[in-house]
Amino acid sequence: MDSPTKEKTRRSFIKTSTAAAAVTATSIPRKSKAFEGGSEEIKVGLVGCGGKGTSDIRQVLGVGGKVKLWAMGDAFEKNAQNKFNQLSNDRNKEKMDCKDRVFSGIDAYRKVIDSGVDIVFLVTSPGFRPVHFDYAVNQGKHVFMQKPCAVDGRGCRMLLETNKKAKAKGLKVGVGFQRRHDARYIDTIKRIQDGAIGDVVSLRSYWDGNTPWTRPRKEGQTEMEYQIQNWYYFNWLCGDHIVEQHIHNLDVCNWVMGSYPEVAQGKGGCEVRNGPDTGETFDHHQVEYVYGPKWDGPSVRMHSSCRHIRGVFNSVSEHAHGSKGYAIISAGKIFDNDGKEIHRAQGRGSSEMAHKTAFIDAIRNNTEFNECDNGAMSSMTAIYGRMATYSGQLLKMDSCLNTKIDVFPYDADLDWDAAPPVLPDKNGNYKRPVPGQTKVI
């Protein structure tokens, strides 16, 4: 994201006090309506004009029927305008009707939501998701939000509470776990659940890859601007890469089990990514999750690995091992215990496009579609894995969900000139968690 102008740096960025949340909770409920058969136009709004937000909008405009981009917004004016220009030159440019509704600034998300849209896509950095979701639901809007849905326990609790209101209003809520709409995953996991590999005894999940982008500091830039531009490396914005990225693999394992792990312990740290330009997050996490209430009781174990180190073995995949065989879930392959392939799932279209189509179809026909509770709990699965690696402690999901330690500053006034929740030392380095010392509950 680009830096705001000098005068904008003096303006408040966001306030997320509990008092404000209480006010929005009293909003008059609005009932969901159907847009039958695509005969009535659906107006879409975008909050967060980055690459992922642009991709989501391109897909939803390509679903078919009367869908129109009605409004878009970003904290930074240049970013919003650049993405508007890009989308205006796309093949679906005739579905653009937001020239006079390209918003920017501290309240861009409110302006988009209040502009008359039927759907809002929430694609900012994840720390803001619970606040934006709450405002959208209170205004009676269908929501598609990208994963992860929060960065801490309080955020997940907020999502679960807000979703009660969404369900009461009949609102449709999508969450960006596209693997759940991938035909190959659907087929493979159904076969596992139907007993193709016998009883599941263990799971493995990986997102081991390269370090993503960094954006250098600019002259005159405030610390708040710098961190928001480099949101991937700050927990209050991103949640660490185990939350922002590895969550996809963790969600697949939860899907296989039809439940969420209850206990976890892990190890992690920074082996190579430890300079002043890579914030406070770890570059590797290794977590052992337990699907069961006790560490030493009957359970299924899920072994989780995510790593951002160059020049090493990489894998982005999920695996299930059973009493009669095993499955490489991400490849859609199932084997018996002798290593013979007994099934291979066919086809692999655009799971993201299938996801957007299912979401729009549910809105048009007013059928049930709500992925928020799972979005909150799979987000929490990743969050408490991070809590386990940061603290070095054996942790329970329930304790982590109900922690009193917030990562995102929900009760603070955040201004472009204000101090973020974490600050660099005199050498420009950020303090990273220390297992055995860092408290998370």
pLDDT digits (tens, 9 = 90+) for 77-105: 999 999 999 999 999 899 999 999 999 98
Q: Give the start-to-end residue ranges of the domains of the chain.
A: 7-179+354-370, 182-346+380-405
> Tokens for 412?
């603070």
Instruction: State residue 106's pLDDT score.
Output: 76
Distance (Å, rounded) from C-alpha 312 to C-alpha 336?
30
Give the residue ranges of the chain where pLDDT is below 50.
Answer: 1-30
Instruction: State residue 76's pLDDT score.
Output: 86
Instruction: State residue 60's pLDDT score.
Output: 97
How does pLDDT run across 133-155, given as a tens digit for each residue?
999 999 999 999 999 999 999 99
With residue 352 as reference, give the H or E element that holds it: helix 351-365
* Domain 182-346+380-405 in this protein, CATH class: alpha beta
pTM of the model: 0.92
Instruction: State residue 1's pLDDT score.
Output: 41
Instruction: State residue 415's pLDDT score.
Output: 80
* Count of Cβ atoms closer than 10 Å to residue 394 Cβ: 13
Distance (Å, rounded) from C-alpha 6 to C-alpha 76?
12
C-beta of residue 260 within 8 angstroms of C-beta of residue 156: no
- Residue partners of 139: CB distance under 8 A and separation at least 6: 27, 30, 113, 114
With residue 168 as reference, give the H or E element that holds it: helix 153-168
With respect to CATH, is domain 7-179+354-370 assigned 3.40.50.720? yes
Q: Do domains 7-179+354-370 and 182-346+380-405 have the same CATH topology?
A: no
Instruction: State residue 75's pLDDT score.
Output: 85
